[in-house]
Structure 1
């Protein structure tokens, strides 16, 4: 399905509904998240559209033949000198073709290129494929704790990489 026809473009306002709906539906189906997750994604994406710093923050949409297949964002973290990876998504029909790696490479390359010292991200232990991808790329899990979020008992993790 995927070939050299994959394009990566900047996230724009017309992607907002797709981004929120895709995250909400996928996480409900695959992880059992309740309907509190979609509004969180919407808040993050809307804030990005209004407040992001063009020189040091970016979001990308992966497409193939006009179909959106995934997303990833690089934003400034609260930790000085670090960026935060956010809203990383690869739709099921696009998995297994290296798209997640390509999105991660784009995000990390951007962060390095604009001078961040490293990156952090927040995820859940149950997202095994994503966690394996992070580990393969030099990220390490630096914290984990049991939480009840989005209607589920989860193990929340913080990962980081120093460039």
Structure 2
């Protein structure tokens, strides 16, 4: 798989919102509040990100988008991993590991000392990857989000 990682470009936001909406509704039962949140995160990033300390990584195979990961500033020492997403056909081929490594490497190169992320326990493959790569589970909280019962998790890693 010859995958290019590109910055956020025209059309990416609409595509990412639609794929998140479609797949999370199907796989998790999430309601329309989820793609609304994804759109807000992406539009805020596009309008106001610091190019020296924040970055989008959009995975492309030729003319086809396969997924993404974002590195954003939480504070001076902490980068936040956001919107880690792979299309089903791109899973299990090492692309997730590559995206995570690129995002963490970027954060390290920017001088961040740690990274944090928020996810759901049901995202088992991603959580297994976080654990395998040295992330620590620091919070696990049952709640109702996006119209369904979930277990929200917080993970962190020192860079």
TM-score normalised by the chain length of structure 1: 0.95
Q: Which among 82, 104, 112 is matched to residue 78 of structure 2?
A: 82
Q: What residue in structure 2 maps to residue 41 of structure 1?
A: 38
RMSD value over aligned CA atoms?
0.8
CA distance in 1, matches of 2:154, 2:105: 20
Matched, 1:64 2:61: yes
Q: What residue in structure 2 maps to residue 112 of structure 1?
A: 108
SS in 2 for 1:154: strand
Could you list the per-position Cα deviations for residues 49-104 of structure 1 after superposition, in whole angstroms to 9, with x for gaps in the alignment? 01100000000110112100000000001x44000000110000111100100100
CA distance in 2, matches of 1:14, 1:91: 16
Q: Which among 36, 52, 56 is matched to residue 55 of structure 1?
A: 52
Q: Which among 16, 19, 33 is matched to residue 19 of structure 1?
A: 16
Residue pairs, 1:80-159, within 5 angstroms: 80-159=76-155
Runs of 4+ in 1 over 3 A off after TM superposition: none
Could you list the per-position Cα deviations for residues 8-38 of structure 1 after superposition, in whole angstroms to 9, with x for gaps in the alignment? 1001242110010011111111111111100
Segments of structure 1 that go 5 or more residues without pairing to the other structure are: none
1:155 deviation in Å?
Answer: 0.5
CA distance in 1, matches of 2:99, 2:87: 12
Contact 1:12–1:49 (CA<8 Å) still a contact in 2? no
SS in 2 for 1:119: strand
SS in 1 for 2:11: helix
Paired residues in the alignment total 159
CA distance in 2, matches of 1:150, 1:143: 19
Contact 1:11–1:61 (CA<8 Å) still a contact in 2? yes
Contact 1:123–1:156 (CA<8 Å) still a contact in 2? yes
